[in-house]
């Protein structure tokens, strides 16, 4: 990935978010950055540009994390034995303030603490390409950062490892080598190390960094129930026993909301202003037909639907039992895989006309991606 710490997320380098998390925490007084020599000039520019005044030193790190730790510790001035040193990997940009607060508190109380996430997969040990035993995952964690320890303990453990010519991959194992066991702090789901390009893309998604070749649209539609007619259409599915929605068309609020969302995404107008007059003149009431020219338009603009999210508010009918059938219908209409169509529903506790059973309302959100072809 090259210099992953300098790769942009929302217009700022990845390392910005790690520095900011520590810099803005009220219990942290000083920040020291230890990094490879070739990116030190870039880091200095970042610190200056974003006014990270708590950063008191930017020092060259080593080939191993343990060497970078030593470089950072050597830059700590006027440290006392009980002072808390927090070591954080700059490749963990989404650490939360609660994790930092807890790791400080537990290190102060117990000597050392480390953030880690529970392992949910079955863990097998291998030997020569063969699975030889299963480990109890209830007792296992995947360590992340920050990891913290009292200065005196960390300095002593580092000196012992150097005398033994041992290299440890993190501070917890370094301390453990000197008989100090770190107390566990639960890691948030978003606190993970960016190692692969997939991890980087995951950070961008969590942060809402939508690529420039994507479009997003939101649509809404609602209709009251007819007092005389039956035959309800939802997402192209006919439910014969339910009252029809009162409209010039078949009243399919899901397809109407979907139309408005797609149309908004590409900068076009609402269904009522554009499509309804045209189809009314031709006597076309099927809402599936409304979508056909719109889907052709997005294709002509070089885009394709990426996903569809639908939120339906209704007392009746119950939407959840119908969701799979509606998703299959929309998949057929749009060409999207079913797994990229989501439907949720609410009765609204009777607070609105829809929750009282007088009609149905639907909100739709869509994303469109630039067609690679």
pLDDT tens-digit profile, the chain (373 residues): 568 999 999 999 999 999 999 999 999 999 999 999 999 999 999 999 999 999 999 999 999 999 999 999 999 998 889 999 999 999 999 999 999 999 999 999 999 999 999 888 888 889 988 899 998 888 899 999 999 999 999 999 999 999 999 999 999 999 999 999 999 999 999 999 999 999 998 999 888 887 778 889 999 999 999 999 999 999 999 999 999 999 888 889 999 999 999 999 998 877 776 666 666 666 667 888 888 889 999 999 999 999 999 999 999 999 999 999 999 999 999 999 999 999 999 988 888 999 999 999 999 999 999 876 5
**Residue 129 CB partners (closer than 8 Å, separation 6+):** none
CB of 142 closer than 8 Å to CB of 117: yes
CB of 257 closer than 8 Å to CB of 219: yes
Query: What is residue 216's predicted lDDT score, i.e. its pLDDT?
Result: 92
Provide the 3-class DSSP secondary structure of residue 356: coil
CA distances from 267 to 28, 213, 261, 297, 363 (A): 47, 14, 10, 11, 18
Angle at 147 between CA 141 and CA 150, to 5 degrees: 130
Query: Going from the N-terminus, what domains does the chain have, and what CATH number goes with each?
Result: 4-207 (3.90.550.10), 214-370 (3.30.1330.50)
Placement of tokens 């870039």 in the chain: 42
Provide the 3-class DSSP secondary structure of residue 87: strand
pTM above 0.85, yes or no: no
Helix (H), strand (E) at residue 214: strand 214-234
Question: How far is it, in rounded angstroms, from Cα 269 to Cα 255?
Answer: 15
Provide the 3-class DSSP secondary structure of residue 16: helix
CA distances from 90 to 65, 77, 168, 185 (A): 12, 22, 18, 19
């Amino acid at each position: 990935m090259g210099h992953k710490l300098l790769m942009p997320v929302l217009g700022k380098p990845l390392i910005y978010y790690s520095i900011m998390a520590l810099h803005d925490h009220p219990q942290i007084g000083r920040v020291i950055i230890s990094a490879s020599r070739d990116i030190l000039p870039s880091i200095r520019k970042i610190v200056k540009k974003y006014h990270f005044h708590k950063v008191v030193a930017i020092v060259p790190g080593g080939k191993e994390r343990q060497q970078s730790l030593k470089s950072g510790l050597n830059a700590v001035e006027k440290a006392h034995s009980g002072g808390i040193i927090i070591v954080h990997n700059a490749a963990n940009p989404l650490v939360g303030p609660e994790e930092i607060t807890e790791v400080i508190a537990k290190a102060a109380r117990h000597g050392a603490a480390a953030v880690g996430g529970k392992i949910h997969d079955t863990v097998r040990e291998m030997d020569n390409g063969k699975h030889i035993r299963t480990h109890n995952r209830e007792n296992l964690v995947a360590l992340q950062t920050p990891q913290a320890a009292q200065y005196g303990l960390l300095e002593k453990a580092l000196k012992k490892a150097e005398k033994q010519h041992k290299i440890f991959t993190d501070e917890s194992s370094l301390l453990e080598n000197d008989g100090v066991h770190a107390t566990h702090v639960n890691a948030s789901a978003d606190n993970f190390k960016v190692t692969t390009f997939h991890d980087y893309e995951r950070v961008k998604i969590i942060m809402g960094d939508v690529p420039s070749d994507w479009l997003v649209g939101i649509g809404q539609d609602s209709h009251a129930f007819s007092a005389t007619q039956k035959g309800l259409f939802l997402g192209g599915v006919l439910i014969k026993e339910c009252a029809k929605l009162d409209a010039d068309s078949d009243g399919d609020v899901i397809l109407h909301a979907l139309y408005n969302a797609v149309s908004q995404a590409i900068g076009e107008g609402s269904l009522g202003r554009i499509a309804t007059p045209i189809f009314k003149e031709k006597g076309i009431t099927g809402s599936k037909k409304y979508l056909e020219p719109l889907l052709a338009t997005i294709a002509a603009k070089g885009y394709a639907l990426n996903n569809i999210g639908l939120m339906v508010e209704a007392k009746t009918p119950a939407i959840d039992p119908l969701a799979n059938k509606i998703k299959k219908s929309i998949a057929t209409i749009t060409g999207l895989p079913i797994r990229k169509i989501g439907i949720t529903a609410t009765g609204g506790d009777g607070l609105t006309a829809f929750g009282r059973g007088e009609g149905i309302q639907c909100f739709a959100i869509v994303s469109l991606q630039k067609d690679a072809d």
